[in-house]
Amino acid sequence: MSTTAVNKQLIKLDLSRNKRKKIIDKEAAAFILQGALDHINQLP
């Protein structure tokens, strides 16, 4: 799901398929990490 979400964002930014292919894994990992950090920050 993270890869799909990031891919949609990159398509909206009008990045070529080749550029998306090069950065998709790194961006998906950042997406997952940011979600985890946001969750931790919401804990009491």
User: 17-42 vs 2-12: helix axis angle to the nearest 10?
Assistant: 120
The tens place of each residue's pLDDT in the chain, 44 residues long, gives: 899 999 999 999 999 999 999 999 999 999 999 999 999 999 98
> Which pLDDT does position 11 carry in this prediction?
96
> Which pLDDT does position 28 carry in this prediction?
96
Residue appearing with tokens 């998306």: 20
> Which pLDDT does position 41 carry in this prediction?
97
> Which pLDDT does position 40 carry in this prediction?
97
Query: Exposed, middle or buried, 32 (CB in 10 Å: 0-12/13-18/19+)?
Result: middle
Longest Cα–Cα distance of the chain, Å, equals: 43
DSSP summary character for residue 40: H
Residue appearing with tokens 């930014």: 13
